[in-house]
Every structure is written in C-alpha cells, then in structure tokens.
Amino acid sequence: MKNLPVDSILARRRFLAAGVGAALTPAALARHPGVRSQEPAKERPTMIGSANALAGMKNVWESFRAGGDPLDAVIEVVKVPEANADDLSVGLGGLPDESGHVTLDAACMHGPTHNSGAVGCLQNIMHASEVARLVMERTDHCLLVGQGAYRFARDHGHPHAELLTDRARRIWTAWRERMSESDDRLAPAKKDQKSGMLFDIHGEQVTLEEIIGDKRPTGTIHCSALSTTGEYSSATTTSGLAYKVPGRVGDSPIVGAGLYCDQEAGAAGATGRGESAILSNSSFAMVELMRQGASPEEAGLEVLRRVTRQAQRAAAWQPGMVDGQGRPSFGLHLYAMGLDGATAGVSLKGGGRYAVADLEKGPRHEELVALHP
Ligand code: ASP
C-alpha cells in the first residue's frame, strides 16, 4: 500500500463518516440510476488478453483456476512474450525506436487496492512488467520513466540486458535504408537482398519489405484476470510503436488508456495505435460504460465509434488518419471483461483474434468483433 499523508487519511475518514464513500445501499442506488451494485462474480475465474497472451494463459490457467492470485497470473502471462526474442513488439526482440534503441512501456493495475504501477521508455531491462509491479508495491508513485526507471529496476536486482536482437537490428537497418531517397544510405542491390525473408507477425507470415512498409508491426500484450475470489488485475507491456521518435511513450503504461480495472465495474485493455487509445481514454471509457450497464462488447464498440469520429476530426490536419470511406486507417484492438466474467474483444477493422480463458472452454483464441468489417 502507498503511505498516505495524515491529511489524506483524515480527509478519507471524514468522507466515509459522511456516508459518501460507504458501500452503495439500495437507497443510494435509487439516487444514482444506472450505477451497478453487483460484486464481481466469484468462482468464475476468467482471463482475457491480446492474441499473443494465449501461450502464457495456457501456462498459468490450471493454477489460476485453482485459486491463483490475479496479479501474479497476469504478470506471468505477459512475461512470456517479454522473454520471447521472436515477438517483435514486446521486450527482448522488440523493434527499436528510430535511433535503434529498444525502449519499453509497461503497467499493471490491482483491483482490490485500486493501485497501479508503470514504467515508460525503459531500456535494457527485459521484464518491464515486473518493474511496473515494483513501482506499484515499493514506491508511492504510479509511473517511473527513462534512466530513473532503469536505475530503480537495477536497484531491485533486475539484470542489465541487451534487448536489440540481430533480427530486430536487421529490420531496423532495412527500414532506415528505405526511409529516404535523398539521404546517403542505400538499400542493398535487389540481387543481394535475401529473397523470401519471412517474419511471423501474429501468426501471419510477412516479408521484410512488408514489415518496413505497410505492415509496420504493431503488437503489445495485454492481459486482465478475474480470480475465484472475485478480484481483478490487469497488465500491459510493449516495446511500443516500431521506429518511434525517441522518448515517445505510448498508451501501454498510461492507466485508463492501455489498461484499467475497477473492482466495482470490470477490467479492460488496448493494443494498437497508442495515441488513439490515449486520446479516447479507451480502457477507462470501456470500464465506465460497463459500470453504466453496457456489455463488454457494447462498451468496446462504443469506444471504437468514438475513436472513429475522433480520427475523422483529426483528418482535417492529418489526412492519412482515415481512408476514402472515413474509416480509421490504423488498427486498435480493445479487450473488456465485466463483473459477471463476460468478455469481448473488438477491433476497428475486420480480422484478428484475442485470447480468452474460462471454466467452460479453457484457454483459446476467439475472433475479434470488428466495428468496420
Ligand atoms: N499500443 C502500443 C503503443 O502505441 C503499440 C501496439 O500495441 O502495437 O505503443
């Protein structure tokens, strides 16, 4: 728990004594129509996350459904791609910023204590999600960035690691060589380019040319969990947008954007274009919509409608934001879980899957519901 100054403790006592912060009674609920009174479902362990969460979900599912802690579970899930050199969007092997540095963003949130921790622009530490948890549990802060985050991680025993793999370096070099025809870098002659160099991006085989062109990889891993004791936790971790401007921090470590959970309403997360998740506050918005009675799918689709309108307005000064039919030209995937353990994964455009695990069917992939099929 973060240490609260005496003033805050006294203020909180006054708040509770006034009955404002007390549990919502039927009379109080009658004064606030639309606000839900339910407790999160117990004995319905459930997990939801991005498609790349499936491997980790399979690892932890048996112990989690037997009563495991939700924060332990989500961190274990997201650590799998953090250590996987083949995942180009998270931790080790993640694609670097435009200057060749791999910088990581991560956050976790704990429903029962409504507490969070995060790191932004963290270099040379593999498990950014564990450092985010340390920020939550061992400081009175919510977010550490850059050198401070690195020193904090080292102080807590995290080893220094080289995260730029040979594969990521080759992709980044190829991207730089093709960035401009007016600089001094030249792409290798066609005959010297390795033909058929294929990369697995979320299960799809793409060529090097596609990666540095129109299939610039996005990724990130999000996972939220509802435990057998009715407790939520969430985690999101990423190497962020490939070739980003150095210093850029995306949505993943921003509470309310890349993740959010609230014991009174549900949990949510986002992957894809971070700026849009930040501008729509997408995870917070989904949880708030579920608090007002929306299902996880309705909440996710409503946020995507807002994102679409916001992109249309942004297109006035950034024309590439929407296509010819006014649909966003970028990708955004949203994941939501309600108090009853119901889940949904939605996306701006058709195609794509998310990972989910529940008592009925165990860990598996499901199709995302697309706003613009
Ligand atoms: N949301 C991440 C970011 O903007 C990227 C992604 O999910 O692909 O940093």
Q: Are 95 and 89 in contact (CB under 8 A)?
A: yes
pLDDT of residue 183: 83
Cβ atoms of 261 and 267 within 8 Å: the answer is yes
* Contact of 222 with 238, CB cutoff 8 Å: no
Let me know whether 139 and 277 are in one domain: yes
- Average pLDDT of the residues in 280-306: 98
Asked, for residue 127, whether it belongs to a domain, the answer is: yes
Regarding whether 289 and 175 lie in a shared domain, the answer is: no
Q: Which atom of ligand 1 is nearest to the CA of 258?
A: 1
- Among the residue ranges 26-35, 47-56, 173-182, the one predicted with the least confidence is 26-35
Q: What is the largest CA-CA distance in the chain?
A: 77
Report the range out of 187-191, 199-203, 349-353, 369-373 with the highest average pLDDT.
Answer: 369-373
Query: Which residue, 175, 193, 211, sits at the end of a domain?
Result: 211
Q: Where among 153, 178, 211 does a domain terminate? A: 211
The Cα 366–Cα 76 span in angstroms is: 21
pLDDT in tens, 322-349: 999 999 999 999 999 999 999 999 999 8
Number of domains in the chain: 2
359 in a structural domain: yes
Q: The CATH number of the domain where 122 resides is what?
A: 3.60.20.30
pLDDT at 133 over 90: yes
Task: Tell me how far apart the alpha carbons of residues 77 and 235 are, in angstroms, rounded to a whole number.
Answer: 9
- pLDDT over 90 for what percent of the chain? 71
Is there a single domain that holds both residue 296 and residue 156? yes
Task: Give residue 3's pLDDT.
Answer: 47
Same domain, 105 and 57: yes
144 assigned to some structural domain: yes
Residue 102 and residue 247 in one domain: yes
pLDDT of residue 47: 98
Q: Is the pLDDT of residue 30 over 50?
A: no
- Is the pLDDT confidence value at 185 over 70? yes
Q: Is residue 358 part of a domain?
A: yes
Q: Does some domain include residue 238?
A: yes
Cα separation values, 311 from 117, 130, 138, 297, 307, Å: 29, 34, 39, 21, 6
Q: Are residues 157 and 207 in the same domain?
A: no
Same-domain status, 94 and 236 = yes
Instruction: Identify the domain containing residue 73 by its residue range.
Output: 38-163+217-372
Q: What is the pLDDT of residue 192?
A: 52
* pTM of the predicted structure, to 2 decimals: 0.87
Report residue 104's pLDDT band, with 50, 70 and 90 as the boundaries: very high
Q: What is the pLDDT of residues 264-273, one digit of tens each?
A: 999 999 999 9
> Domain for residue 232, yes or no?
yes
Task: Confirm or reject: Cβ of 250 under 6 Å from ligand 1.
Answer: yes
Residue 28 within any structural domain of the chain: no
Query: How far, in Å, from the CA of 53 to the mean position of ligand 1?
Result: 15
Residues 149 and 289 in one domain: yes
Q: Which of 91, 36, 105, 41 is nearest to 70 (CA)?
A: 41
The per-residue pLDDT for range 67-91, each reduced to its tens digit, is 999 999 999 999 999 999 988 889 9
The verdict on residue 108 lying in a domain is yes
**246 lies in the same domain as 133:** yes
Residue-wise pLDDT tens digits, 230-273:
999 999 999 999 999 999 999 999 999 999 999 999 999 999 99
Task: Flag whether pLDDT at 34 surpasses 90.
Answer: no
| Residue that terminates a domain, selected from 177, 211, 245 | 211
Residue 123 CB neighbour total at 10 angstroms: 20
Q: How many whole angstroms from 240 Cα to the centroid of ligand 1? A: 5
More confident residue, 197 or 93: 93
Ligand 1 pocket: which of 88, 239, 241 to mutate (most atoms <8 Å of CB)? 241
In a shared domain, residues 181 and 318: no
Point out the ligand 1 atom lying closest to the alpha carbon of residue 250. 9
Considering the domain architecture, whether residues 180 and 301 belong to the same structural domain is answered as no
In the annotation, is 220 catalytic? Answer: yes
The encoded tokens of residue 79 equal 């650590």
pLDDT over 50 at 15, yes or no: no
Please give the Cα distance from 225 to 202 (Å, whole number). 22
Residues 131 and 85 in one domain: yes
Q: What separation in Å is there between the alpha carbon of 275 and the centre of ligand 1?
A: 8
